[in-house]
């Protein structure tokens, strides 16, 4: 097999674009549209080419994704290409300069919701699966293409269903097809999230008796959290970011004449290898204890942990980052690695002990905003890089063991829906 980085010919590139256009023209907004039609486009394409695939369903039986599996003829590790085919909402359609489901091409840009995030990547990965199916005799392990339709909800239902399915080979690593050619995300801060329920006696706001309401107590707690001491970047650490504490929501009170007896705070703590979920919980509990000691209430403040994802970071020599970076270099690209401040699906995978990269795709504009579009001139190069990276992995005797750091141990807390979450957040 040739080891040259070969770009797809014009017909192959046109086929990728045509499939992406068909996908864009099937609205698949998370939580809004039926996902059956967009998956039917993919299923028809895969079936016409004899590629093995099946639908994935969540715990409640809901349709959450499609899985394509291309086994090699030799034993070895499995690797996954991941792209979502659900999308963000359109927002104000009157603000768009073209229909959000147009799927047309103007001045070299593929236009419409999902063009960048991530229907073009899904179309590209399906074509790479077809390429590799024709070379299965020469390959070790196998390639899975995960097409998630429960991703923009923040649930990552497709990924969860695949990981929970005993019939699915557990991947040695995942490459997530987000757009943008300059960077590959190889790490991210983790998170610890909780709801704090602050109590107080209720009372009349006009009473001559002073009553410290739950909102006032919660405000004091916010001040304690904002002033909390956090560690800096450790000397010699390869993790370049600091932990961070944020209060992201406050709910309490009703009307004007009653001081409320309850106020709920959403707490988001971004964690690092030097400040993990246990440290985050300890910090919050310390602030809560200080509040309750200084300002006693009928009931102590409650802490309800909601979610925890570990931080992660791959080095440039760990897979699958090494394969992707090497293939990009062969294409003459200078691609930077990045540790993301926000969390992303890589953190979810890290919690399962699965290394992942996020990003590397065509240039784009308008992701999650108006006039979303993806630039097509770079598509042949991006296609060639991913195909070369996958071939390197499937031609190598790379073990299936995890290469994630110990900080990626599975969380003891449930991972609840985390808003958008899929793109780094």
pLDDT of residue 237: 66
pLDDT at residue 414 is higher than 70: no
Task: Annotate 182-229 with three-state secondary structure.
Answer: CEEEEEECEEEEEEEEEECCCEECCCCCCCCCHHHHHHHHHHHHHCCC
Name residues whose C-beta falls within 8 Å of residue 415's C-beta, 6 or more positions apart in sequence.
307, 308, 309, 348, 351
Tokens representing residue 153 in the block: 């909800």
Averaged pLDDT for residues 381-396: 94
pTM higher than 0.85: no
CATH homologous superfamily of 10-188+311-408 = Zn peptidases (3.40.630.10)
Distance CA 188, CA 340 (A): 4
pLDDT of 103: 98
CATH of 190-309, one of 3.40.309.10, 3.30.70.360, 3.40.718.10, 3.90.105.10: 3.30.70.360
pLDDT digits (tens, 9 = 90+) for 325-374: 999 999 999 999 999 887 778 888 988 999 999 989 999 999 999 999 99
Q: Is the pLDDT of residue 269 over 60?
A: yes
Return residue ranges of the chain for CATH 3.40.630.10. Answer: 10-188+311-408
User: Containing H/E element for 382?
Assistant: helix 379-395
The reported pLDDT for the residue numbered 403 is 39
b/e per residue 209-242 (b: at least 16 CB within 10 A): eeeebbbbbbebbbebbeeeebeeeeeeeebebe
Q: Which of 335, 341, 392 is nearest to 361 (CA)?
A: 335
pLDDT band at 379 (very low <50, low <70, confident <90, very high): very high
Contact 392, 172 (CB under 8 A): no
Residue 195 has pLDDT above 50, yes or no: yes
Nearest C-alpha neighbor of 243 from the set 276, 221, 267, 287: 276
Q: How many H-runs (helices) and E-runs (strands) does the chain carry?
A: 9, 19
State how far the Cα of 18 lies from the Cα of 13, in Å rounded to an integer.
9
Of 367, 375, 378, whose CA–CA distance to 109 is shortest? 375
| Owner of token pair 């291309």 | 70
- Asked whether 124 and 381 are in contact (CB, 8 A), the reply is no
pLDDT average, residue stretch 7-18: 95
Spatial neighbors of 401 by CB under 8 A, at least 6 apart, are: 172
* Nearest Cα residue to 145 out of 39, 3, 62: 39
Q: How much is the pLDDT for 344?
A: 78
Question: Which segments of the chain belong to CATH 3.30.70.360?
Answer: 190-309
Give per-residue pLDDT as tens, 37-94. 999 999 999 999 999 999 999 988 999 999 999 999 999 999 999 999 999 999 999 9
Which of the pair, 413 or 244, is modelled with greater confidence? Answer: 244
- pLDDT tens for residues 108-164? 999 999 999 999 999 999 999 999 999 999 999 999 999 999 999 888 999 999 999
Residue 413 pLDDT exceeds 70: no
| All residues at 6 or more sequence positions from 186 whose CB lies less than 8 Å from its CB, including other chains | 313, 314, 315, 316, 321, 337, 338, 339, 357
Q: Which of 348, 340, 357, 358 is nearest to 155 (CA)?
A: 348
Q: Is the predicted pLDDT of residue 4 greater than 80, yes or no?
A: no
pLDDT in tens, 198-245: 999 988 877 767 778 999 999 999 999 999 999 876 655 678 899 999
Q: How much is the average pLDDT of 262-274?
A: 95
Question: Whats the size of the chain, residue-wise?
Answer: 425
CA distance 413 to 156: 16
Does 260 have pLDDT greater than 80? yes
Question: Percent of the chain scored above 70 by pLDDT?
Answer: 91
């Amino acid at each position: 097999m040739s080891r040259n980085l070969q770009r797809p010919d014009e017909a192959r590139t046109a086929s990728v674009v045509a499939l992406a256009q068909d996908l864009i023209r099937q609205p698949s907004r998370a939580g809004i549209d039926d996902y059956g039609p967009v998956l039917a486009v993919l299923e028809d394409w895969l079936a016409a080419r004899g590629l093995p695939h099946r639908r994935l369903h969540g715990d409640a039986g809901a349709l959450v994704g499609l899985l394509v599996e291309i086994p090699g003829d030799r034993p070895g590790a499995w690797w996954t290409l991941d792209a979502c085919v659900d999308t963000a909402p359109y927002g104000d359609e009157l603000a768009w300069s073209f229909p959000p489901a147009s799927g047309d091409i103007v001045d070299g840009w593929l236009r419409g919701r999902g063009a960048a995030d991530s229907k073009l990547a899904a179309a590209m990965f399906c074509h790479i699966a077809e390429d590799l199916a024709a070379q299965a005799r020469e390959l070790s392990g196998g390639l899975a293409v995960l097409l998630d339709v429960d991703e923009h909800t923040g649930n990552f239902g497709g990924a969860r269903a695949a990981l929970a399915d005993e019939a699915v080979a557990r991947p040695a690593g995942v490459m997530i097809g987000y757009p943008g050619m300059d960077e590959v995300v190889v790490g991210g801060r983790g998170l610890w999230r909780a709801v704090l329920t602050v109590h107080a006696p209720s009372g009349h706001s006009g009473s001559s008796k002073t009553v410290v309401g739950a909102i006032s107590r919660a405000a004091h707690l916010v001040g304690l959290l904002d002033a909390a001491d956090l560690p800096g970047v450790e000397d010699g650490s390869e993790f370049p970011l600091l932990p961070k504490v944020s209060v992201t929501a406050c709910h309490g009170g009703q009307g004007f004449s009653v001081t409320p007896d309850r106020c709920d705070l959403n707490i988001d703590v971004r964690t690092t290898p030097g400040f993990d979920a246990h440290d985050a919980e300890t910090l919050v509990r310390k602030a809560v204890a200080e509040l309750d000691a200084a300002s006693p209430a009928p009931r102590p403040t409650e802490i309800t942990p909601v979610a925890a994802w570990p931080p992660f970071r791959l080095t440039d020599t760990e897979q699958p980052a090494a394969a992707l970076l090497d293939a990009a270099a062969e294409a003459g690209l200078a691609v930077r690695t990045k540790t993301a401040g926000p969390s992303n699906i890589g953190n979810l995978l890290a919690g399962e002990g699965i290394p992942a990269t996020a990003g590397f795709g065509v240039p784009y504009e308008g992701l999650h905003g108006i006039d979303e579009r993806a630039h097509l001139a770079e598509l042949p190069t991006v296609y060639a890089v991913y195909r070369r990276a996958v071939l390197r992995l499937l031609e190598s005797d790379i073990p299936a063991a995890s290469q994630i750091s110990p900080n990626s141990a599975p969380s003891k807390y449930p991972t609840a829906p985390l808003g958008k979450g899929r793109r780094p957040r």
